[in-house]
Structure 1
Amino acid sequence: MSANKTNKTAVAAAAGAILLALGPNAQAQSSISMYGELDTGLAYLSNVGGHSQWQATTGLVDGSYWGLQGIEDLGGGYRAIFRLERGFSVTSGEMLNDHPYYVGLGSDKAGTLTLGHQYDLIHDYFAPFTLTGGTGGTAFAHPFDNDNANNTYLAANSVKYASPSFGGLTLGGMYAFSNAAGQFANNRAYSFGASYQNGALNAGAAYLHANGRGNSSTGAYDAAVLPSVTDVFEAAVQTQNTYGFGVSYAIGDLTMAAAWSRSTYTGVTVIDTGDSAPSIGFSNYELNGVYQLTPSVALAGSYTYTKGSGSHWHNGGVQADYQFSKRTDTYLEAIYQRASSGAPAVINSADPSSSHNQVLIGAGLRHRF
């Protein structure tokens, strides 16, 4: 049996076991639901390794996945919750470990505590102010998704807390264990965040720190993807710090947002060779807007300037989305990236260009269930 079939069988068996163990009465009391999304389409890339490329795509905006989630009322205002999601490629059938699964406890007064494989606080408190963390999705990420606004990696072995709202202010914290004996800080991470909402105004900020990222397969995070002069490589990173701040304001059907983030990677080692590589930092400055033209048509666009260590990137794109129904929509988007000399152009989800420019034009169909 192939690895893909084995993964599918295991996931299906786990889901079946959960539902069987809970039984029909428990299912009703616990509000268990199954849900998911499929996103697939076609894309043209102007330059991949020196050639243009046409490809069938999966997850050009959202990663395809299926999930189970549930809530059980424990009394006294407390509830037990769980979430189990699994990503997959619609085009190849490959199973992907890019979605959360956790169990936890929560209440309206005390907040929510969860344990498992989860999004960090960059996702919860900063990413919503970027287009990649909102309607734009995957291809609108900042170069190399250096600030994780597109959820390229999730935190394993993590414990996360989200507070209730205090007059529009919410707070959160996360710690992800290394799970290594005698190496408590080797591939561990912690993250903090806060958001504030007052009518049409929203703001959020988050911080992520990781030690020894990619040093082990059982720690908080996998290796990072970083740029060399002409290409990208997987890297173990001894210290990563990421800060992000965003703000948005809604005026009728138009929502405008601005976001800034700073990511630094030090103690960098190339995974394939073990060679040391220079430390690198990225500062991302983004402006974006989403306009609900009609109840069925939404238009979005963004521009990001990324300043790296000795290099920089300009990244701009537009997207139009048409809603056939509440569950099914189609989209058309175009993204252009230009890198300075000494840096590769790499639109997120694409392979590197052989020049300093890359264009992606894509269209797709999504269905949610």
Structure 2
Amino acid sequence: MPAEKINNSNQAVAHSFAFVACVTCAVSTAHAQSSVNLYGEIDAGLAYFSNIGGHASYQATSGLVDGSFWGLQGTEDLGNGNKAIFRLESGFSTTTGESLDDHPHYVGLANDSFGTLTLGHQYDLIHDYFAPFTLTGGAGGTAFAHPFDNDNANNTYLASNSVKYVSPTLSGFSAAALYAFSNDAGQFANNRLYNFAANYQNGPFTAGAAYLHANGRGNTAGGAFEPVLLPGANRDVFNASVAKQNTYATGASYVIGDLTLAAAWSRSTFSGVTDADSGAVEPSAGFSNYEVSGVYQLMPSLVLAAMYTYTKGSSAHWHQGGVQADYVFSKRADVYLEAVYQSASSGAPAIINSADPSSSRNQLLIGTGLRAHF
């Protein structure tokens, strides 16, 4: 081969190696400044319900504590303390394989000094700032929600078309605001939501408060919320559109060694109610929830939890109590056993969250399940 061709060939090879080296360096740098994590949970078990439509029911369950889901969460360093973030989760039923739209997906920007701004399908601020003081928003999960999940502490519905801002924490204080658009041309306030919250933490003491206001809930198919009067209600019990919803919620917790005690109060009102099918005017509804709970780390591998809630409705009331034991095999697997009992006043349905209504004033759930985390 002529010397000139050999030299050209060597130069081409050298350029190729240089290009590969630059790409490798760029990928390594990008990898060092960004990350994407795959995670999730599968929850499956068995449950006994004392009364569903007049009969005892034995069921295979999915998500009796937490809904089963998988997710991707990522961050990329943009420099100067700025980061691009995203979260993409998808829920599913372990027992049927059905996909569920009960988890968030959003994209946003974060800065340690200025806070975090996200856009997408997101948990509202009742979930973020109030639910942690309830057992349904903590160790207990789904079945421990307040009747009909009337305050959405169990995040039965997420806020669509939403923009959320969360402040940095300063001297123990943080705050947040959320707005969910109606996306309805000419009806800016029809099926929209605005939401404010704050939190304070000082050593073992934590407190939080949140306010949620929704207009025209369920009046449109593509707005902030779906058309149902109460978030967790069976549609055979309640199926309505609501002109206005207001929820006020506050809670506090205190840690004493291995014991965490918490108290929570919420008030949800629903006015301008009409039947979603016929358009007939329905009575307004209001619910006040009073909860006390405790979580005790008995052993490194065993957690015990208990709660009691009194809910006062517009013309009815409910008592609900529950206990739970959770045994951890490893960082990725645990097994739980729980019982929830609900008693309603005369004429009101007993309906533990995740169940269909009882034909009587009382309903009992005893359930067990296995969870795997990844």
TM over 0.5: yes
Computed over aligned residues only, the root mean square deviation of the Cα atoms, in angstroms, reads 1.6
**TM-aligned CA deviation for residue 275 of structure 1:** 1.9
Q: 2:279 aligns with which of 274, 278, 285?
A: 274
What is the rounded CA distance, in whole Å, between the counterparts of 2:78 and 2:217 in structure 1?
38
The reply on whether 1:251 has 2:256 as its aligned counterpart is yes
What is the rounded CA distance, in whole Å, between the counterparts of 2:279 and 2:208 in structure 1?
38
Q: 2:131 aligns with which of 127, 130, 142?
A: 127
Write the letter of the residue equivalent to 1:273.
S
1:107-139 Cα distance to aligned partner (Å, 9 max, x none):
110000000000111011100000000000000
Structure 2 unaligned regions, length at least 5: 1-26
1:312-356 Cα distance to aligned partner (Å, 9 max, x none):
000100000000001100000000000001210000010000000
Question: When the two structures are superposed, what TM-score results if normalisation uses the length of structure 2?
Answer: 0.90
Write the letter of the residue equivalent to 1:250.
V
Partner residue in 2 for 1:159:
163
Contact 2:310 2:318 in 1 (8 A): yes
Write the letter of the residue equivalent to 1:89.
S
Secondary structure, counterpart of 2:315 in structure 1: coil
Secondary structure, counterpart of 2:154 in structure 1: coil
**TM-aligned CA deviation for residue 27 of structure 1:** 5.4
The reply on whether 1:287 has 2:292 as its aligned counterpart is yes
**TM-aligned CA deviation for residue 222 of structure 1:** 0.7
The reply on whether 1:109 has 2:113 as its aligned counterpart is yes
Cα distance change, pair 24–355 in 1 and its aligned pair in 2 (3 A): farther
Partner residue in 2 for 1:95:
99
Partner residue in 2 for 1:197:
201
Q: 1:321 aligns with which of 318, 322, 326?
A: 326
Write the letter of the residue equivalent to 1:188.
R
1:10-45 Cα distance to aligned partner (Å, 9 max, x none):
xxxxxxxxxxxxx89755642101110000100000
Secondary structure, counterpart of 2:118 in structure 1: strand
The reply on whether 1:138 has 2:139 as its aligned counterpart is no
What is the rounded CA distance, in whole Å, between the counterparts of 2:269 and 2:47 in structure 1?
32
Secondary structure, counterpart of 2:338 in structure 1: strand
Partner residue in 2 for 1:11:
none
Write the letter of the residue equivalent to 2:327.
Y
Count of aligned positions = 347
What is the rounded CA distance, in whole Å, between the counterparts of 1:24 and 1:362 in structure 2?
48
Write the letter of the residue equivalent to 1:122.
I
The reply on whether 1:54 has 2:58 as its aligned counterpart is yes
Q: 1:63 aligns with which of 43, 49, 67?
A: 67
Partner residue in 2 for 1:342:
347
Write the letter of the residue equivalent to 2:134.
T
Larger Rg: 2
The reply on whether 1:185 has 2:202 as its aligned counterpart is no
What is the rounded CA distance, in whole Å, between the counterparts of 1:273 and 1:322 in structure 2?
49
1:197-225 Cα distance to aligned partner (Å, 9 max, x none):
00000000000000011111110001234
What is the rounded CA distance, in whole Å, between the counterparts of 1:231 and 1:184 in structure 2?
30
Partner residue in 1 for 2:301:
296
Partner residue in 1 for 2:34:
30
What is the rounded CA distance, in whole Å, between the counterparts of 2:369 and 2:216 in structure 1?
38
Secondary structure, counterpart of 1:166 in structure 2: coil
Write the letter of the residue equivalent to 1:194.
A
What is the rounded CA distance, in whole Å, between the counterparts of 2:28 and 2:89 in structure 1?
21
Write the letter of the residue equivalent to 1:30.
S
